[in-house]
Amino acid sequence: MDGLLHQVFSGLATGGIYASVALALVMIYQATHHINFAQGEMAMFSTYIALALINAGLPYWVAFAATLVFSFAMGAIIQRVLLQPLANAPVLALVGVFIGMMLIFNNTAGWIFSYTLKPFPSPFGEGGPMVGGMLSPHELGSTCVTLGVLLSVWAFFRFTRLGLAMRAAAYNPVSSQLVGIPVARMLALGWGLAAAIGAIAGMMVAPVVFLDPNMMAGVLLYAFAGALLGGITNPLGAVIGGFLVGVIENIGGAYIVGTGLKLSLALVIIVAVLVLKPSGLFGKTLASRV
Amino acid sequence: MSTPEGAAAPGGVLLDVRGLHAGYGEIKVLHGLDFMVSAGGVTTLLGANGAGKTTTLRAISGMIRTSGDIVLAGAPIGGKATEAIAALGVAHVPDGRGTFMELTVEENLRLGAYTRRDNPAADMEKMFTYFPKLRQRFRQQAGTLSGGEQQMLAIARALMLRPRLLLLDEPSFGLAPLIVREIFEIMRTVIAQEGTSILVVEQNAALALAIADRAYLLETGRIVMSGPATEIRKDEAVRRSYLGY
Ligand SMILES: Nc1ncnc2c1ncn2[C@@H]1O[C@H](COP(=O)(O)OP(=O)(O)OP(=O)(O)O)[C@@H](O)[C@H]1O
Ligand SMILES: [Mg+2]
């Protein structure tokens, strides 16, 4: 029983990482109706930047903040330079661009930082298990960080003028322009924000899995499964889906398929959702009368 | 047209359009329109299906490429971005109303005031006095409103910008006659109290002519008749083709 509870808790801790990346995916999806397959690689690249800054002697949290700024700029610039010109391009062209970006980030990271596994520091120290032996300090700390991120993002979209404008621009670009919202700028902001969220997820997962250029491949798959499970059209659903996938992965890995086959659980979830309920558990079906 | 600060005096020309050409890619729709909206006045653009009414409003809002002169309060706005034109005080209720369906009524109204930095609460309250039905729907998703309520929301959203020029695209479209009458009654009150300058496009000529002071008749992208609304209303041909009596 204790073992199961332990799996649930540590599943929630990794689930927070998936939830963050799922949120980043959904934010871009809502605005553009595309899945940014490069989201994970962008996060991986950001994490290398963080490591470089830490190795250069910056205190952890300063490097953390600088990485967020870097990632935000990187996301916004990618949108502006690469994707804005392709706004009306066919879907396949965009898929090509996303896959291209994925490869470029992966290879560039390998080329600059090498493909060897690198330890990444945790700001929460080593120490023994906490919360009645259920969580390591890093698991507890990273869960708090991801929850903090998710809450702030929610509050930003819910309560600020800019957040409302970004939602409006995603839902209805034409009407948004008519009320004076610079839609292109909102898209760039959204990309920046998504990249920053991904960077946090990367920095939180790296101490657990070690940093290498392929670190985020599995995370992206789980996050995508989470986003689909919760509902790709519903940010809150995607976040819940991310947590669920974390728990399913841990329990499934411990008791059902074994750790070697854990990743296949993500594929099972993806296929099951697409077949049984494509809108996901919390996907919105808007009752609109026109 | 040499008013200082572009603050068109009452009765002066607010919107002056000359030789307006516009279309969609290769397709030419407007072939040199001349028309104007006076400050504090209501101008209506009448015409049958496909005459180019919607296209004209899109041209003013910078949603499509144009040539010719579009001058708002002395300043040319042709070629500017749509959001920049909105920031200059042009509020456009588009074809199909442009409601943010997934957002609440309140959020729709807040978005209407996006270009203004001040607190929109007072204006929102004013919208509820004009459109009492919206007050009960305040927290409701806009997509769940009835067609009439959505049209009211669309007009209220546009008024939240405190527009110097309001562009309305067929506010009567798809609504029951009783609702249409209600909306036009409210429009009359708004015009009287706010003095908003309006360019309203309509197929329902009788309605539009009742609130307008100036009218233009559009046929396949050309203006074929213009004058004070009272005179257009009396015109034999207009009566037969557009007023149905
Ligand atoms: N997006 C578009 N792409 C290509 N052609 C268009 C487009 N929108 C309108 N048109 C064409 O432009 C012409 C004028 O259309 P417009 O929508 O301006 O007419 P309208 O007077 O508003 O008509 P209605 O009363 O039906 O709304 C029509 O021939 C129409 O087919
Ligand atoms: Mg039209």
Q: With bands split at pLDDT 50, 70 and 90, how would you rate the model's confidence at B2? A: very low
How far, in Å, are A109, B85, B156 from residue A172 at the CA level? 37, 18, 18
Average confidence score pLDDT of chain B: 91
Residue B6 in this model has a pLDDT that exceeds 50:
no
CB B96 less than 6 A from any atom of ligand 1: no
Residue nearest to atom 17 of ligand 1 (CA): B54
Residue of chain A nearest B61, judged by CA positions: A178
CB contact A285 to B (< 8 Å): no
Q: Could you read off the pLDDT of A55-68 as tens digits, one per residue?
A: 999 999 999 999 99
Residue B245 in this model has a pLDDT that exceeds 70:
no
Q: What is the mean pLDDT of residues B28-46?
A: 95
Interface confidence (ipTM) of the complex: 0.92
Q: Could you read off the pLDDT of B106-144 as tens digits, one per residue?
A: 999 999 999 998 889 999 999 999 999 999 999 999 999
CB B203 less than 6 A from any atom of ligand 1: yes
Long-range pairs for B225-232 at CB < 8 Å and ≥24 separation? B226/B35, B229/B44, B232/B46
How far, in Å, are A76, B4, B48, B198, B235 from residue B238 at the CA level? 54, 39, 11, 22, 5
Structure tokens of A70?
């870097």
CB B53 less than 6 A from any atom of ligand 1: yes
Question: In a mutagenesis test of the A interface, which of B57, B114, B165 is the best target, namely the one with the most A β-carbons within 10 Å?
Answer: B114
CB B50 less than 6 A from any atom of ligand 1: yes
pLDDT of amino acid B111: 97
Burial B29-52 (b: 16+ CB within 10 A, else e): bbeebebbbbbbbbbbbbbeeebb
Q: Are strands B75-76 and B165-169 parallel, antiparallel or unpaired?
A: unpaired
Most confident of A28-37, A80-89, B166-175: B166-175
Residue B163 in this model has a pLDDT that exceeds 70:
yes
For chain B, percent of residues with pLDDT exceeding 70: 94
CB contact A176 to B (< 8 Å): yes
Contacts of A168 in chain B (CB under 8 A): 100, 103, 107, 111
Q: What is the mean pLDDT of residues A65-73?
A: 98
pLDDT of amino acid B144: 94
Q: Could you read off the pLDDT of A140-158 as tens digits, one per residue?
A: 999 999 999 999 999 999 9
Q: Domains of chain A (ranges plus CATH)? A: 2-276 (1.10.3470)
- CB-based contact B86 A175, cutoff 8 Å: no
Contact indicator for A232, A22 with CB cutoff of 8 Å = no
Q: With bands split at pLDDT 50, 70 and 90, how would you rate the model's confidence at B46? A: very high
Residue B156 in this model has a pLDDT that exceeds 90:
yes
Q: Could you give the 3-state DSSP secondary structure of residue B218?
A: strand
Residue A270 in this model has a pLDDT that exceeds 60:
yes
Q: Are strands B197-202 and B165-169 parallel, antiparallel or unpaired?
A: parallel
Nearest to A252 by CA among A240, A242, A243, A262: A262
Q: Which amino acid is at B74?
A: G
Nearest to A15 by CA among A258, A272, A234, A227: A227
pLDDT of amino acid A234: 86
How far, in Å, are B111, B163, B209 from residue B61 at the CA level? 17, 13, 23
Q: Can you give the pTM of this predicted structure?
A: 0.89
CB contact A160 to B (< 8 Å): no
